[in-house]
Amino acid sequence: MNRGRDRFIIAALRSERLAIPLGHVSEVMENFRTFPIPRAPVFFPGVINSHGSPTPVLDLASFLYGDPPAPDGTLLILDHRTATLALRIDRVERIISADGPAEDDNTDNGLTDQSVFYNESSIRTLNLELLVEMLEQELSRRPASSTRSGAPA
């Protein structure tokens, strides 16, 4: 399905790149201080004080690939209409206008189900709505008693 030209943030994430719809991102932050979240899964390394709004940080690589959370990086703070959430990525590679997303290829359970074209390569787009739904499902389960972000290293 083609939805016309949209703007995307090309996010570097380990050796991968992901396209994140720019319209869903309200701020990019590089220096941040997190505070632990009680009983949160390990892919939530903490919460930040984003202009007076407590905003949990999701370590995308940890959530998508099971990597250990990284201590630094770049945060993409999502528009509050999408979610109260900041995505930790390695860095912002650039912002592009792209034709797409292109056809569905249904990988990663639909979490990165569509592609945009950048530098003659196809980059998968992160489905933010689905991501938030998956996190909600994950968080609504009673957490196990180990590996919490509140636990000291």
Piece of the chain touching other proteins by CB under 8 A; list 89-97, 100-108, 113-121, 131-139: 131-139
Structure token pair of residue 21: 């719809």
From the list 5, 138, 7, 1, the residue with the least C-alpha distance to 64 is 138
Residue 121 touching other proteins (CB under 8 A) = no
Distance of alpha carbon 41 from alpha carbon 117, whole angstroms: 33
From the list 60, 34, 32, 30, the residue with the least C-alpha distance to 149 is 34
Distance of alpha carbon 14 from alpha carbon 16, whole angstroms: 5
Which listed residue (40, 75, 87, 111) binds other proteins by CB under 8 A?
Answer: 40
From the list 50, 86, 51, 53, the residue with the least C-alpha distance to 69 is 86
Q: Which is nearer to other proteins, 20 or 48 (CB)?
A: 48
Pattern of binders to other proteins over 70-109, x per CB under 8 A? ----------x--xxx------------------------
Residue 111 touching other proteins (CB under 8 A) = no
Checking phi first, is residue 46 left (phi over 0); if not, alpha (psi -120 to 50) or beta? Answer: left
Piece of the chain touching other proteins by CB under 8 A; list 4-12, 59-67, 68-76, 144-152: 144-152
Number of residues lying near other proteins (CB under 8 A): 35
Site for other proteins, rule CB under 8 A: 35-40, 47-49, 51-56, 80, 83-85, 132, 135-137, 139-140, 142-148, 150-152
